[in-house]
């Protein structure tokens, strides 16, 4: 069971996972060893899945982000699995979500410009198996980026 101290630890790790365990422990009122033990339990229980660096897409030349709704020609397990396997294999697909509603999947891609997005559209997205319809939306401005889950009470 996650308690208030665990929630504080998770909030601190999501904001900056490069903090030392001693710094996190000080911030939540624990010794470094007690904090280390709690973080280990959160990792073992799968609450903390992994640690990663968040990159700035614009500074890497990806000036345009698109959310793409993809409708498939059917919803059988074989069709869904084939699409998911192919989407996972494409590094250009930044995110892929099975959705409710009109479209079957929502994928996120980034490109430096519209010419490159057209290439992605034709050679990557449309080439995924069983695609019957594609609807794209260009992100004009990001108001808030995902900063992690609020570690609320269970």
**Same-domain pairing of 103 and 127:** yes
**What are the tens digits of pLDDT across the range 21-73?**
999 999 999 999 999 999 999 999 999 999 988 899 999 999 999 999 999 99
| Maximum alpha-carbon separation in the chain | 57
pLDDT at 67: 98
Q: Is residue 149 situated within a structural domain?
A: no
pLDDT at 153: 66
Please say whether the beta carbons of 64 and 138 come within 8 A: yes
Question: How large a percentage of the chain has pLDDT more than 90?
Answer: 87
**Same-domain pairing of 71 and 127:** yes
Q: Is residue 10 situated within a structural domain?
A: yes
Q: pLDDT confidence of 154, banded at 50, 70, 90?
A: low
Give me the domain span that covers residue 98.
Answer: 58-138
Q: DSSP for 115-137? A: HHHHHHIIIIITTSTTEEEEEEE
Q: Is residue 145 situated within a structural domain?
A: no
**Same-domain pairing of 62 and 32:** no
The distance of Cα 67 from the centroid of its chain, to the nearest Å, equals 13
Q: Is the pLDDT of residue 152 over 80?
A: no
At 54, phi and psi to the nearest 5? -95, 120
Please say whether the beta carbons of 102 and 69 come within 8 A: yes
Q: pLDDT confidence of 88, banded at 50, 70, 90?
A: very high
Distance CA 22, CA 2 (A): 20
Per DSSP, the three-state class of 149 is: coil
- Return the top range by mean pLDDT from 1-15, 44-58, 98-112: 98-112
Q: Is residue 154 situated within a structural domain?
A: no
**Same-domain pairing of 69 and 113:** yes
Task: Say how many domains are in the chain.
Answer: 2
Question: How large a percentage of the chain has pLDDT more than 70?
Answer: 98
């Amino acid at each position: 069971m996650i308690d208030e101290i665990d929630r504080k630890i998770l909030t601190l790790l999501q904001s900056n996972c490069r903090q030392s365990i001693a710094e996190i422990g000080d911030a939540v009122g624990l010794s470094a060893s007690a904090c280390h033990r709690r973080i280990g339990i959160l990792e073992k229980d799968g609450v903390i899945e992994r640690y990663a660096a968040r990159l700035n897409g614009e500074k890497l030349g990806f000036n345009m982000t698109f959310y793409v709704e993809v409708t498939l020609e059917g919803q059988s397990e074989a069709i869904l699995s084939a699409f998911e396997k192919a989407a996972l294999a494409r590094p250009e697909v930044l995110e892929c979500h099975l959705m409710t509603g009109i479209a079957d999947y929502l994928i996120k891609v980034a490109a430096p410009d519209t010419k490159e997005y057209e290439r992605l559209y034709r050679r990557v997205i449309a080439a995924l198996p069983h695609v019957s319809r594609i609807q794209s939306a260009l992100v004009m401005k990001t108001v808030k980026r995902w900063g992690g889950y609020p570690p609320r009470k269970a």
